[in-house]
Amino acid sequence: MEIVVFGAGSIGSLLGALLARVPDHDVTLVGRGPHVSAIRRRGLRVEGIESFTVEPQATTDGTDLAADLVLVTVKAYDTEAAARELRTGEFDAVCSLQNGMGNEETLAGYLDCPVLGGTTSYGAVRTDSGEVVWNGAGEIAVGPWAPRGDDETAATVGAAMTAAGLEVDVVDGAGIRRRLWEKLAVNAAINPTTALARVENGALGDEPGTDLVEPIAREVGATARAEGVTLSDEALVDAVGEVVTATAENESSMYADVQAARRTEIDVINGYVVERAREHGIDVPTNRTLWTLLRAWEAERGLRAIDA
């Protein structure tokens, strides 16, 4: 299978490297200059859970490409720009493996091919150009977004990932929506709270951390149900607790963004909850407060327009 990984950051580089180990997969990474140059010179080196080097194609130009599958792994605020580049090419399917929600709608609005939603709990950190550390085994869930009933394409994509040794759960259209909302609850509870408090994930496992993350998850649950996705508050609170325990010594991606003075993905996480809740007349004060605080932090540092 010909596969494009659009967004060769940490998770994109790891998944691209794992897929590139399959002889039948022809992988192209789309990334930034230094990383791409290093891959072209000496390949992509993976360390951590396994250590190996692969030699995928690599480019900084995401236009006029053609492939059976595109995995989109850019930051959510770059999704529209990625979609504009990708629409110049030809693809049989595109799958978002990004944080937050709304990415699938954006991709479907630009691309004339099936769009899949996906989640991943694999962990990786880009340590240098041409290098990535694989620091967490996990699972990928993938399912049809548009058309919602395109189970065949989801199965084909799942099989391509499974061939690379990835743990993959192929679900239907309703299933992937439940998975995405569950992941949204986890991200909404962990990311902004750890970023603002400057703590590792484990700090949210006991009081006073649990006093904040539980209402966040419950607000997400109420919004998900209003959107027609069946998820209980208790299930979401439990999901947050499981991730906090499993990643207790980790720093969240949003905490890392704040430390590096980078723009965060707050708009497609807590901001998405706020916007969807507003449409249904639901009050989500904790999510709104976190969204406002992170937007204020970004605006003060010139990372976003004041009114954006």
Q: Which two tokens stand for residue 1?
A: 């299978």
Q: State the distance between the two ends of the chain, measured CA to CA, in whole angstroms.
A: 40
Q: CA 150, CA 223: separation in Å to the nearest integer?
A: 26
Coil, helix or strand for 289?
A: helix
Residue 274 · residue 280 · CB < 8 Å: no
Q: CA 289, CA 239: separation in Å to the nearest integer?
A: 22
- Active site includes 75? no
| No. of helices (H) and no. of strands (E), the chain | 11, 14
Q: Which region holds residue 154: left if phi is over 0, alpha if psi is between -120 and 50, else beta?
A: alpha
Complete DSSP assignment for 208-263? THHHHHHHHHHHHHHHHHHTT----HHHHHHHHHHHHHHTTTPPPHHHHHHHTT--
Q: CA 83, CA 188: separation in Å to the nearest integer?
A: 25
Q: CA 90, CA 200: separation in Å to the nearest integer?
A: 42
Helices (H), 21-67: 33-42
Choosing from 25, 126, 183, 304, the catalytic residue is 183
Q: Which residues are catalytic?
A: 183
